[in-house]
Amino acid sequence: MFSLPQFDPLATPDTLVIAIVAFIAGVIRGFTGFGGPAFMLAILTMFYAPIVIIAKVLIVDFGTGCYLFKQVCVDVNWRRTLTLFIPTLLAMPLGHFLLFNVDAETMKRAIALIIAFTCVLMLSGVRYKATLTTPLLIVVGILAGIVFGATYIALVGVVAILLGPDDKNSGRTLIIAWAFLTSIAYLLVSINSGATGLSDISSALPGVVTYWFGAQVGSRGFRKSSEHRYRQIAVCTLLAITVFSFIA
């Protein structure tokens, strides 16, 4: 009988565990355009040390990120995407510096509370009416880069986009394109530093497959959803991930 593993800082995740969690995460990622990696991290870090999880999550998400990006690439607004991505990229080292000099757990929980409060506002129907201007996109990108580099939480940019006036297609496209570019940068850094290696690739392969199938299911659900239903599910997903991140 399948049973949940007990937390052990030195344990390596079972491939079955990764595959099951990855399928659910893939459904979330395919539908909303975000949240898959955060869901996997929130669940798996309850049982395993982050240091043995993060590289595998990056690998599991990367292939599906390519697939989702291919789906939306013709609709990408490159000016908006790069205006958000470049500051994110440049701010990541500062976040990584904070990771080693500030209590990352305290930062993670504080950010989770802020995002949870924002989710409640979104569920109540609060949205700003004007599209994010270039200066605001730069500010959001910087904040997202700092937070991601320090806590591995990439949801700051998602919140900013979901609070805006973008319809479900343009908002999801911006999220997918920005997350895709950010994941490439982070994966390259991880490989170069030796944090991600061949052993991570082999153990993550079952999760890559189930995550991709989950993303197929999620993408079909997105195409059938209404604007209102998409926003409801996306915000509830964001809130659930935030709660998991806070209590994990």
Amino acid at 53: I
Does residue 8 form part of some domain?
A: no
| Integer Cα distance of 207 and 225 in angstroms | 26
Predicted confidence (pLDDT) at residue 69 exceeds the cutoff of 80: yes
User: How would residue 110 be classed by pLDDT, with cut points 50, 70 and 90?
Assistant: low
220 falls within a domain: yes
Residue 2 lies in a domain: no
pLDDT mean across residues, the chain? 79
Does any domain span residue 4? no
Please, what is the angle between helix 134-151 and helix 155-162, to 10°?
150
Distance CA 217, CA 31 (A): 8
Average pLDDT, integer, range 3-11: 46
How large is the average pLDDT for residues 70-98? Answer: 90
User: Nearest to residue 64, comparing CAs of 17, 88, 42, 31?
Assistant: 31
From 179, 91, 83, 88, select the one nearest 131 (Cα to Cα).
83
Mean of the pLDDT values across residues 114-140? 78
Q: Tokens 């409640």 correspond to what residue?
A: 120
**What residues make up the domain containing 105?**
15-247
Query: What own/partner pairs with CB < 8 Å and gap ≥ 24 does 230-236 have?
Result: 230/31, 230/32, 230/168, 230/172, 231/122, 231/162, 231/168, 232/123, 233/31, 233/32, 234/31, 234/32, 234/33, 234/34, 234/162, 235/119, 235/122, 235/123, 235/162, 236/119, 236/123
Number of domains in the chain: 1
| The dihedral formed by the CA atoms of 28, 137, 145 and 244, expressed in degrees to the nearest 10 | -30
User: What is the Cα–Cα distance from 135 to 83, expressed in whole angstroms?
Assistant: 9
Q: Is residue 188 part of a domain?
A: yes
The 8-class DSSP code of residue 194 comes to T
pLDDT at 2: 42
Confirm whether 190 is domain-assigned.
yes
Q: Is residue 172 assigned to a domain?
A: yes
Percent of the chain with pLDDT over 90: 23
Domain for residue 10, yes or no?
Answer: no
Looking at the predicted structure, is the pLDDT value of residue 143 above 60?
Answer: yes
Contact (Cβ atoms closer than 8 angstroms) between residue 15 and residue 203: yes
- Using CB atoms within 10 Å of the CB of residue 195, give its burial: 0 to 12 exposed, 13 to 18 middle, 19+ buried: middle
Task: Give the integer Cα–Cα distance in Å for 212 and 190.
Answer: 22
Quick check: pTM over 0.85?
no
pLDDT at 1: 43
What pLDDT shows up at residue 87?
95
CA distance 207 to 136: 36
Checking if the pLDDT of 203 tops 80, the result is no
Q: What is the 3-state secondary structure (H, E, C) of 140-182?
A: HHHHHHHHHHHHCCCHHHHHHHHCCCCCHHHHHHHHHHHHHHH
Which region, left, alpha or beta, applies to residue 35 given φ > 0 means left and ψ of -120 to 50 means alpha?
A: left
For residue 76, the tally of other CB atoms under 10 A from its CB is 18
Nearest to 144 by CA among 106, 167, 175, 170: 175
What pLDDT is recorded for position 193? 67
**Which pLDDT tens digit goes with each residue over 184-195?**
887 787 777 676
| pLDDT at residue 26 is higher than 50 | yes
